[in-house]
Amino acid sequence: MIHCLSIPTPFAVGRVNCYLIDDEPLTLVDTGPNSGKALDELDIALRDHGHRIDHLERIVITHQHLDHMGLAGILARRSNAEVVTLDLLAPVLEEFGAHAERDDELAESLMLRHGIPRDVVIALRSMSRAFRAWGGSAPVDRGLADGESLEFAGRTLQALHRPGHSPSDTVFWDAERSVLIGGDHLIGHISSNPLISRPLGGKSGEPGAGRPRALMTYMDSLRATRAMPIEIVLPGHGEPVTDHVKLIDERFALHERRAAKIAGLIAERPMSAYEIAQSLWGNVAVTQAYLTLSEVLGHVDLLVDRGEIREAEVGGVIRYEAA
């Protein structure tokens, strides 16, 4: 049995779905954020299913975001459960603070380069530091290679790297039951944002190899998932997805529409990514500045790749113009 445990987060996304795999070893997939409230609710949810935190024998993490891994260290300490992740995620989880700091450095330089005002960048940087309290490090006992199988008494889950939403996105495929534990790779009610973070290797790109093209990486990952004979996706947020092909096709159509809209804006006059974001969404909240920048850059990458637009640097800020 796989039980969905819905755990509160302080983030706009709302609750996160953690999954309890009632098998041997007793396994929790994703943990919720590092907060007393999340820990309390997780404890209650486990008891509802006849278990306790110290019964956990294995903790599996789908990706590097706070709402999915924040409690991993505390739960592992309390239960002695082995922590299992994709091999590329292991160093991030083991030194969470240092990795978050380097991701923030990348975010800061990208924001300045793409026209976001310095005061917004500084505000976001200090907010990001405060947000980190909802994360935390955990020792990783086992790193899985892309495609490697994780065995249970009653099932086998294959770990598949599907970067894009984050560089470490991992889905876990039960081929026998046609069930995919999807993390935030595919969510029914919201389009997973391809947030730009440092590449970690493998399909997420070589570390240090320039700015990652997160949306293009994400679309490659979606194509791979689309081709799978999945009956049900158990997502990191919201309800299970029962028609992944239809949903993925809707996502592709959404990104095409958005790219076309951005191409239309740029055709009128050259614009920075920040100006494009403002044209599309108005003056967004400071917290959303990097999200919307990532969103715009993802689509700009598609257009540059197709030769429809090109980059031009003016005074240290990148503007996009029709090719």
Kindly identify the residues of this chain, within the stretch 183-242, that bind Zn ion according to CB under 5 A.
184
Tell me the closest approach of the beta carbon of residue 109 to Zn ion, in angstroms: 22
**Single residue of 65, 161, 213, 244 touching Zn ion by CB under 5 A:** 65
Q: Given the rule CB under 5 A, which of 18-26, 48-56, 177-185, 247-255 is the region that contacts Zn ion? A: 177-185
Q: How many residues does the chain have?
A: 323
Q: Given the rule CB under 5 A, which of 103-111, 176-184, 202-210, 312-320 is the region that contacts Zn ion? A: 176-184
Nearest Cα to Cα of residue 56 among 24, 79, 83, 30:
79
Contacts of 215 (CB under 8 A, 6+ apart): 164, 194, 255, 295, 297, 298, 299, 301, 302
Ramachandran region of residue 97, left (φ > 0), alpha (ψ -120 to 50) or beta?
A: alpha
Distance CA 232, CA 225 (A): 12
Residue 163's φ and ψ, nearest 5 degrees, are -65, 160
Distance CA 236, CA 155 (A): 20
Q: Given the rule CB under 5 A, which of 3-11, 147-155, 178-186, 237-245 is the region that contacts Zn ion? A: 178-186
Tell me the closest approach of the beta carbon of residue 165 to Zn ion, in angstroms: 6
Residue closer to Zn ion (CB basis): 13 or 322: 13
Distance CA 223, CA 90 (A): 25
Distance CA 20, CA 5 (A): 7
Q: Given the rule CB under 5 A, which of 60-68, 136-144, 215-223, 244-252 is the region that contacts Zn ion? A: 60-68
Residue closer to Zn ion (CB basis): 200 or 309: 200
Q: Given the rule CB under 5 A, which of 86-94, 99-107, 151-159, 179-187 is the region that contacts Zn ion? A: 179-187
Q: Given the rule CB under 5 A, which of 31-39, 59-67, 259-267, 309-317 is the region that contacts Zn ion? A: 59-67
Residue closer to Zn ion (CB basis): 174 or 184: 184
State the residue for tokens 């983030």.
11
Tell me the closest approach of the beta carbon of residue 102 to Zn ion, in angstroms: 18
Tell me the closest approach of the beta carbon of residue 127 to Zn ion, in angstroms: 17
Q: Could you tell me if 79 and 53 are in contact, meaning their C-beta atoms sit under 8 angstroms apart?
A: yes
Whether the CA torsion 253, 258, 259, 263 is positive or negative: it is positive
Residue closer to Zn ion (CB basis): 63 or 319: 63
CA 316 to the chain's CA centroid: 29
Tell me the closest approach of the beta carbon of residue 124 to Zn ion, in angstroms: 18
Residue closer to Zn ion (CB basis): 65 or 319: 65
Residue closer to Zn ion (CB basis): 103 or 184: 184
Distance CA 207, CA 88 (A): 11
Residue 7's φ and ψ, nearest 5 degrees, are -115, 135
114 contributes a contact to Zn ion by CB under 5 A: no
Count the site residues for Zn ion by CB under 5 A. Answer: 2
Tell me the closest approach of the beta carbon of residue 53 to Zn ion, in angstroms: 23
Q: What is the DSSP letter of 175?
A: T
Here's the x/- map for Zn ion, 242-271, by CB under 5 A: it reads as: ------------------------------
Tell me the closest approach of the beta carbon of residue 65 to Zn ion, in angstroms: 3
Residue closer to Zn ion (CB basis): 79 or 294: 294
169 contributes a contact to Zn ion by CB under 5 A: no
CA 29 to the chain's CA centroid: 15
Q: Could you tell me if 215 and 258 are in contact, meaning their C-beta atoms sit under 8 angstroms apart?
A: no
Distance CA 93, CA 178 (A): 29
Question: What does the binding site for Zn ion look like in residue numbers (CB under 5 A)?
Answer: 65, 184
